[in-house]
Amino acid sequence: MQGNRLQDCTSPYLQQHAENPVHWHPWDEQALAMAREQGKPIMLSIGYSACHWCHVMAHESFEDEETAALMNELFINIKVDREERPDLDKIYQSAHQLLSQRPGGWPLTVFLTPDDQIPFFAGTYFPKEPRYGMPCFKDILTSVAHAYQTQKKEIGEQNQSLLQALSSLNPETDTDEALDSGPLENARQQLARSFDETHGGFGQAPKFPHPTSLNRMLRHWAATATQGAADPRSLYIVDHSLTRMALGGFNDQLGGGFCRYSVDDQWMIPHFEKMLYDNGPLLTLYSDIWLATGKPLFRETAEKTAEWVMREMQSPAGGYYSTLDADSEGAEGRFFIWTPEEVKQHLGDDEYRHFALYYGLNQAANFEGAWHLHNYASVAQLNETLGSSGEQARKLLQSAREKLFAVREQRIHPGRDEKILTSWNALMIKGMVRAGRIFGNADYIASAERALAFIRQHLWQDNRLLATHRDGVSALPAYLDDYAYLIDALLELLQARWDSADLDFATELAEILLEHFQDREQGGFFFTADDHEQLIHRPKPLGDDSTPAGNGVAAHALARLGHLLGEPRFLYAAEQTLKAGWAHIQQIPHAHCSLLEALEEQLNPTETIVIRGKAIETQDWQERAISRFAPRRMTLAIPDDAADLPGLLDARQAAARPCAYICSGTRCEAPVDDFELFCERLAESEAAPAHADANTFSGSAGSFKRHRE
């Protein structure tokens, strides 16, 4: 069957190519069988809807009749949405790196042998005409087709070598080697060496936020502070990086939410797409850094991000959408940019003077002849130059932002990919709950609960998760990340409010991980289940990339759940996951920060605090437990009338007054029913606030108050 078969696909990315003259197929048995029957190699193109260069290649080549005719003649052409099929993306990105000896990206262009789908040539974006030092795409097509016809023996030998190389990416476990803390310190040193002293973040442009790396540094500071020898350098790296990101054009200064990355070192001009999977971990991180420092900018940034999520990324049914495009009206960034004349038209004189100086409208244009908002001056500089007070300047800036946001809302918005992905929703559920807990905002927690309810209703079918939902259709067996991230999110939600049904759900998800994803021989978890479609490789991802490594999150979440339930199988699986990745962790610690988080809690087990009593009486206790940054702490307030208690409490009775049970790993202390003693005990395992006025407390259990500002 020839012709374009993408019309009925649920992926917006595939639907964007449904009118191409290319005879596109989705990845399915029909397309693979056609390649085998016709003996044509497969041209596999992987991208996603918010990808700017995917749009460029589509416009230049896939919409071009001459190029399409060549593709249709020489290849079976398959289009894949990497967000729906991360299994295929992981395999063929790894293959690209092995074949080309350089990192991949999107669009990913891979040529596969028809009988076994093994790649023999790979690249990313190819231009329509030769430029950027690259050959034109039509020349690539003819050269690859010719090579396939004339060099089949050599390609076959290369394919066998590639399969062996892919297999070697899943390491064998040395079960005799003991885990130790060495990689934690080595990762700190590696990250510190790559820190950008001037602009924050790690490395040079393009600059990505790397929330897992920043979280590692923040946890390192907390660990040293708890031990009485705080490492201010680690905290500075996180503080400076998140400050510059928050003030830069990388962060939407009017509407909130972070873009994918910055094209420059200064966090000034982003690649304008916004991804749910970036913003979930960044929301968690900004909430945590506020708790550690009390810096108002961090709270403001977290709250603006959360508000953006609820306003623009949450569906009426509750699930969170995936992405916002970089492009609007056919141009990248057009939705976000301004001219000084346009800004002046909508602001008062004082507002404009402050806004222009603060955001650089008095300087040269910074984006294609226009201005993208980026911080150039401090409030103190505004005061000195314009004679205003700090309070006046902040009010003028805020009123200006509100007016310009209202104006911008009238523009044509970037396109939105309304797929609802289980894994990305779980990352955002965790971020929203963490922000809600830390800032005392019930709306954020309610938003997360709606997203979880959507997953339970639409993406949990026949006691297994599905990966994606759009237009009323849920599809595709879920992956490791879907299960691991969701368990982690449920543990976060349980700390906001107790619901035994959520604990049961987390336990059921963990059992599925062990039954269908675990490598029982070598430890760790495969990315796909044992009953998943058979592909050329079954990855076991250990390192973080644009999202946290599923193995790291699984090990961390299973350890916490195992301690809460008193379930040795979960604890053993977490330990074996670390051993499976141990060689990789030791070799490149800073690339495995999610696994390092699990390692830290393997060596220094989670402090699990369960507070029992009437809800109104335990509120102060719970508030106190979450009032300081203590990343190895898990706090659960369980009402005294709750049934189905976790294993940690199954033999304990509720007391007549609030009572706290504190356990570190498998070691539990005597219950504490005195609030002052409870506070003293908590202080032993907390990092003191970086600023003395960040969090203060007064009174006893009856008059305890936390000052959040």
379: domain CATH number is 1.10.10
pLDDT of 645 strictly over 50: yes
Same domain, 533 and 671: no
Same domain, 89 and 72: yes
Same domain, 584 and 628: no
For residue 253 the two structure tokens come to 């200064």
The continuous run of DSSP H or E covering 36 comes out as helix 29-38
Residue 323 has φ and ψ, to the nearest 5°, of -150, 160
For residue 502 the two structure tokens come to 């959520």
pLDDT of 78 strictly over 50: yes
Respond yes or no on whether the N-terminal peptide bond of residue 477 is cis (omega within 30° of 0).
no
Give every strand in the sheet of 659-664, ordered side by side.
Answer: 633-639, 607-613, 659-664, 667-668
553 domain residue, yes or no: yes
Query: What letters, b where the CB count within 10 A reaches 16 and e where it falls short, cover 147-180?
Result: bbeeeeeebeebbeebeeebeebbbebeeeeeee
Name all contacts of 500-508 with Cβ < 8 Å and 24+ positions apart: 500/642, 500/643, 500/644, 500/645, 502/452, 503/564, 503/644, 503/646, 504/644, 505/456, 506/561, 507/561, 507/565, 508/463
Same domain, 155 and 26: yes
Name the DSSP class of 663.
E
Same domain, 614 and 586: no
Q: Of residues 164 and 689, which shows the higher confidence score?
A: 164
User: Among the listed ranges 167-176, 364-373, 407-416, which one has the minimum average pLDDT value?
Assistant: 167-176
Same domain, 555 and 624: no
Q: Which residues pair with 42 in a beta bridge?
A: 76, 112
What are 597-616's pLDDT values in tens digits? 999 999 999 999 999 998 88
Q: Which residue is associated with the tokens 């028809």? A: 114
What are 251-266's pLDDT values in tens digits? 999 999 999 999 999 9
- Whole-angstrom Cα distance, residue 633 to residue 629? 9
For residue 516 the two structure tokens come to 């269908």
For residue 129, what are the contacts with CB-CB under 8 A and spacing of at least 6?
Answer: 136
What are 527-564's pLDDT values in tens digits? 999 999 999 999 999 999 999 999 999 999 999 999 99
Q: Which residues pair with 667 in a beta bridge?
A: 664
207 domain residue, yes or no: no
pLDDT of 353 strictly over 90: yes
Q: How many residues does the chain have?
A: 709
pLDDT at 109: 97
- Whole-angstrom Cα distance, residue 684 to residue 413? 50
Same domain, 59 and 147: yes
Residue range of the domain that includes 637:
607-683
197 domain residue, yes or no: no
- Whole-angstrom Cα distance, residue 466 to residue 356? 48
pLDDT of 691 strictly over 70: no
SS (H, E, C) 326-364: CEECCEECCCCCECHHHHHHHCCHHHHHHHHHHHCCCCC
What are 6-26's pLDDT values in tens digits? 998 989 999 999 999 999 999
Q: In the structure, what pLDDT confidence band is assigned to residue 356 with cuts at 50, 70 and 90? A: very high
How many separate domains does the chain show?
A: 4
84 domain residue, yes or no: yes
- Whole-angstrom Cα distance, residue 625 to residue 228? 20
Same domain, 617 and 557: no
Same domain, 668 and 623: yes
Percent of the chain with pLDDT over 70: 95
- Whole-angstrom Cα distance, residue 667 to residue 662? 9
Same domain, 20 and 60: yes
102 domain residue, yes or no: yes
391 domain residue, yes or no: yes
447 domain residue, yes or no: no
Average pLDDT, the chain: 93
Percent of the chain with pLDDT over 90: 86
Q: Which of 168, 185, 218 is the last residue of a domain?
A: 168
Same domain, 637 and 588: no
What are 449-483's pLDDT values in tens digits? 999 999 999 999 999 999 999 999 999 999 999 99
pLDDT of 694 strictly over 50: no
62 domain residue, yes or no: yes
- Whole-angstrom Cα distance, residue 215 to residue 597? 9
Q: Which of 137, 168, 199 is the last residue of a domain?
A: 168
Q: What is the average pLDDT across 202-218?
A: 97
The domain spanning residue 80 has which CATH number? Answer: 3.40.30.10
Same domain, 635 and 595: no
For residue 129 the two structure tokens come to 């005409």
Q: Which three-class secondary structure state does DSSP give residue 633?
A: strand
